[in-house]
Structure 1
Amino acid sequence: METYNTIPIWKKINLTINEAARYSGIGRDKLYEIAKTPHCPFVLKNGSHILIKREKFEEYMAQITEV
């Protein structure tokens, strides 16, 4: 069984903001700004923690032309 730290980012269902920043090349502050917009399609909130739904995030990134 793989441990959490050895699972590649592209196989994870949800990403932390730091992982999403490394994965996308978008800065953490910008990701927080986008994630805090109402009804953001790729955000999963776990209490005060923000997680990024990787597949929805990829779809979102494919549709936008600027950040």
Structure 2
Amino acid sequence: MKEVPIWEKSNLTLEEAAAYSGIGINKLRTLTDNEHCQFVLWVGSKRLIKRRKLDEYTEKMFSL
């Protein structure tokens, strides 16, 4: 099975998003617990991070 690089995936797990962005898993959990979070996708109880939306969010933020 072929492995897709993180920077080519559209949705990331918390672990992948933490490795990709440099933001800790616990901080990502806290950010995505908010019901108005634009970069989280819930698949049942599984939490996926929308990579492009996360990039846009971090570009706008001064601090997390």
* TM-score normalized by the length of structure 2: 0.94
Structure 1: distance between partners of 2:11 and 2:23: 16
Among candidates 16, 21, 24, match of residue 21 of structure 2: 24
Q: Which runs of 5+ in 2 are unaligned?
A: none
Q: Structure 1 runs of 4+ off > 6 angstroms? A: none
Q: CA RMSD in A?
A: 1.0
Q: Give 1:45 shift.
A: 0.1
Shift of 1:61: 0.6
Is 1:39 the counterpart of 2:36? The answer is yes
What amino acid sits opposite 2:44 in the alignment?
G
Tell me the equivalent position of 1:15: 12
1:38 CA displacement: 1.8
Q: 1:57 aligns with which of 36, 43, 54?
A: 54
